[in-house]
Amino acid sequence: MHGVGVPVSALHGPSGPPDVRFRVVAQSSRVRLPSGDEVSALTFNGRLPGPELRVRVGDLVEVTLVNRDVPQGVSIHWHGVDVPNAEDGVSGVTQDAVRPGRSYVYRFRVDEPGTYWYHSHQHSADEVERGLYGALVVEPRKAVEGADFVALAHTIGGHNLLGGSDREARRRVAAGTPVRLRLVNSADTLRRFALTGSSFRVVAIDARDKPGGTPLSGRTIAVPAGGRYDLAFRMPAAPVRLAIRDQDDGLVLEPGSGEAAPTAQFGPDFDPATYGASAAAVPRHFDRHFAVDIGRRLGFFEGGVHFGWQWTINGKTFPRMPMYMLRRGETVEFSLSNHSNIAHPMHLHGHHMLVFARDGRRITPWWSDTLEIETGERYDVAVFADNPGVWMFHCHNLPHAAHGLVTHASYEGVTTPFEMGSDSGNEPE
Ligand code: C2O
Ligand code: CU
């Protein structure tokens, strides 16, 4: 992959017969929610959220995306899957947006079991909110016994959803069953979950195991926009309630005891930095160090039409933000800090980040692809440059990204033939 000008489009997934095939049709739909309210949505296969895609680790997955009638075009980004670059689904970077009547085929293998999700990366601030998203679950090779639920939180047109429901949903689970709850946040801001009625362990974050965690109770699980947390527990003899702070939706698991579900208890936020054991060894040496310092400043934007606050990285506004250049095989340190007035969940495409220090102090390292950076915080992360391409690195509060909080990590020698902007019709954010 070294040398001159490998185009992104050459970095595609494996060929050969797929193990699983999906067909996903993007279309506008009116969806009636369980409360009776109707929303006008953009959907995958007419559903909200899109179909839950379940595959096994190592499967060659083939997904055909068809755009029936979404005028702005669509794409699918496999959030958290470190796919070959041409399969990354970012319009204007790794492909052209798929126009109405057209289709696009994605092919990739997932090497790590876990909880992922997918969404359009064309006009994403608009299209994801309006419904072009769904869960992707990668199961281990050997089937795991027990109950396994995705709890995907979203907000569309002011309606809060957990899965497809804007009301609390109920599921029957026999006492004694091992349960895995996969919390996913596809909304633009942090969601706080409380699990009441059982202690639980946090067993994975962002599709990577969180080893050695002890049982927790009364902890609130704060899931950043775009992030995933997997919880595990054994179903007790009485109901368990999963609730989201300040929302009416939720999930009650009941063993059939006839008892009432416990009232949700929100406690202090769970902190992955002080939980369990180290997920991986922190490198002793880095080939490069990069600073990503998020700030804001007042200025003109959109061609001088608007005056207001603009996001900055290292003092520069879009499109003059720094681009981070990587070389294949390097170990790279990024220092992510936030000197703006609001939290930013930073998402790196194509790689996981080993988070190992906060505010200059060592913490229990964990893997993340979507890291919430609060005002005044700084995180140091290690990235192993093993997946050549041009990779987006942006805030997953998607309106922030649409207002310029976007940069790229780009490998030397990789070029993209795709373009962004109104002439090309590609507008990834
Ligand atoms: Cu889930 Cu670039 O995004
Ligand atoms: Cu942000």
Is residue 337 situated within a structural domain? Answer: yes
Same structural domain for residues 256 and 165?
yes
Calculate how far, in angstroms, residue 225's C-alpha sits from the geometric centre of ligand 2: 10
What is the pLDDT tens value at each position of the chain, 429 positions in all?
A: 444 689 999 999 999 999 999 999 999 999 999 999 999 999 999 999 999 999 999 999 999 999 999 999 999 999 999 999 999 999 999 999 999 999 999 999 999 999 999 999 999 999 999 999 999 999 999 989 999 999 999 999 999 999 999 999 999 999 999 999 999 999 999 999 999 999 999 999 999 999 999 999 999 999 999 999 999 999 999 999 999 999 999 999 999 978 899 999 999 999 999 999 999 999 999 999 999 999 998 887 766 777 888 899 999 988 888 899 999 999 999 999 999 999 999 999 999 999 999 999 999 999 999 999 999 999 999 999 999 999 999 999 999 999 889 999 999 999 988 998 878 899 999
Exposure string over 51-88, b if 16+ CB within 10 A, otherwise e: bbbebbeebbbbbebbbeebebbbbbbbbbbbbbbbbb
Nearest to 203 by CA among 179, 172, 177: 179
Classify strands 288-301 and 331-338 as parallel, antiparallel or unpaired: parallel
User: What is the three-state SS of 76-114?
Assistant: CEEECCCCCHHHCCCECCCECCECCCCEEEEEEECCCCE
Out of 249, 273, 297, a domain closes at 273
Whether the Cβ atoms of residue 411 and residue 327 lie closer than 8 Å to each other = yes
Is residue 424 situated within a structural domain? Answer: no
Same structural domain for residues 113 and 227?
no
Same structural domain for residues 16 and 125?
yes
Which ligand does the CA of 122 lie closest to?
1
Ligand 1 atom 3: residue of nearest CA: 79
- pLDDT of 374 reads 98
Angle at 26 between CA 23 and CA 31, to 5 degrees: 115
Burial class (CB in 10 A: 0-12, 13-18, 19+), 226: buried
Classify strands 168-172 and 250-254 as parallel, antiparallel or unpaired: parallel
Whether the Cβ atoms of residue 344 and residue 395 lie closer than 8 Å to each other = yes
Same structural domain for residues 116 and 14?
yes
Q: Is 392 in the pocket of ligand 1 (CB under 6 A)?
A: yes
Q: Which two tokens stand for residue 128?
A: 């994801």
Angle at 378 between CA 374 and CA 379, to 5 degrees: 105
Is residue 426 situated within a structural domain? Answer: no
Same structural domain for residues 329 and 267?
no
Q: Is 402 in the pocket of ligand 1 (CB under 6 A)?
A: no
Q: Which amino acid is at 216?
A: L
- Residue 8: helix, strand or coil by DSSP? helix
Is residue 420 situated within a structural domain? Answer: no
Is residue 278 situated within a structural domain? Answer: no
Calculate how far, in angstroms, residue 404's C-alpha sits from the geometric centre of ligand 2: 9
Counted domains in the chain = 3
Q: Which two tokens stand for residue 67?
A: 């755009």
Same structural domain for residues 79 and 98?
yes
Is residue 283 situated within a structural domain? Answer: no
Is residue 114 situated within a structural domain? Answer: yes
Which ligand does the CA of 336 lie closest to?
2
Q: Which two tokens stand for residue 298?
A: 């007042």
Nearest to 91 by CA among 31, 155, 26: 26
Same structural domain for residues 63 and 167?
no
Nearest to 241 by CA among 168, 146, 183, 179: 168
Q: How far is CA 358 from CA 344, 365, 366, 380, in A?
A: 15, 10, 12, 6
Calculate how far, in angstroms, residue 251's C-alpha sits from the geometric centre of ligand 1: 26
Domain residues for the domain of 321 are: 288-415
User: What is the three-state SS of 241-257?
Assistant: EEEECCCCCEEEEECCC
Same structural domain for residues 99 and 179?
no
Continuous H helices in 296-403: 398-402
CA–CA gap between residue 107 and residue 394 (Å, rounded): 24
Q: Which two tokens stand for residue 210?
A: 């969180």
Question: What CATH number should be reported for the domain holding residue 247?
Answer: 2.60.40.420
CA–CA gap between residue 15 and residue 245 (Å, rounded): 45
The number of helix segments (H) and strand segments (E) in the chain equals 2, 32
- pLDDT of 423 reads 80
Q: Is 228 in the pocket of ligand 1 (CB under 6 A)?
A: no
Ligand 1 atom 1: residue of nearest CA: 79
Is residue 339 situated within a structural domain? Answer: yes
Same structural domain for residues 393 and 364?
yes
- pLDDT of 1 reads 41
Same structural domain for residues 157 and 183?
yes
Question: In sequence order, which residues have a C-beta less than 8 Å from that of residue 313 and are 6 or more positions away?
Answer: 292, 293, 294, 295, 321, 322, 405, 407
Same structural domain for residues 381 and 333?
yes
Same structural domain for residues 226 and 330?
no
Q: Which atom of ligand 1 is nearest to the CA of 349?
A: 2
Which ligand does the CA of 76 lie closest to?
1
Q: Which amino acid is at 370?
A: T
Max alpha carbon distance in the chain (Å)? Answer: 68
- Could you tell me how far CA 270 lies from the centroid of its own chain? 19
Q: Is 79 in the pocket of ligand 1 (CB under 6 A)?
A: yes
- Could you tell me how far CA 330 lies from the centroid of its own chain? 25
Q: Which helix (H) or strand (E) holds 288?
A: strand 288-301
Question: In sequence order, which residues have a C-beta less than 8 Å from that of residue 138 and are 6 or more positions away?
Answer: 54, 55, 56, 57, 110, 112, 113, 114, 115, 116, 207
Calculate how far, in angstroms, residue 79's C-alpha sits from the geometric centre of ligand 1: 6
Out of 80, 107, 139, a domain closes at 139
Q: Which atom of ligand 1 is nearest to the CA of 119?
A: 1
Identify any residues that bridge with 380 across adjacent strands, giving them in sequence order. 335, 357
Question: How would you classify residue 353: left for phi > 0, otherwise alpha for psi between -120 and 50, otherwise beta?
Answer: beta
Calculate how far, in angstroms, residue 197's C-alpha sits from the geometric centre of ligand 1: 34
Calculate how far, in angstroms, residue 71's C-alpha sits from the geometric centre of ligand 2: 27
Q: Is 77 in the pocket of ligand 1 (CB under 6 A)?
A: yes
Q: Which two tokens stand for residue 143?
A: 């089937």
Out of 216, 238, 273, a domain closes at 273
Q: How many of the other CB atoms lie within 10 Å of CB of 301?
A: 16
Q: Which atom of ligand 1 is nearest to the CA of 401?
A: 2
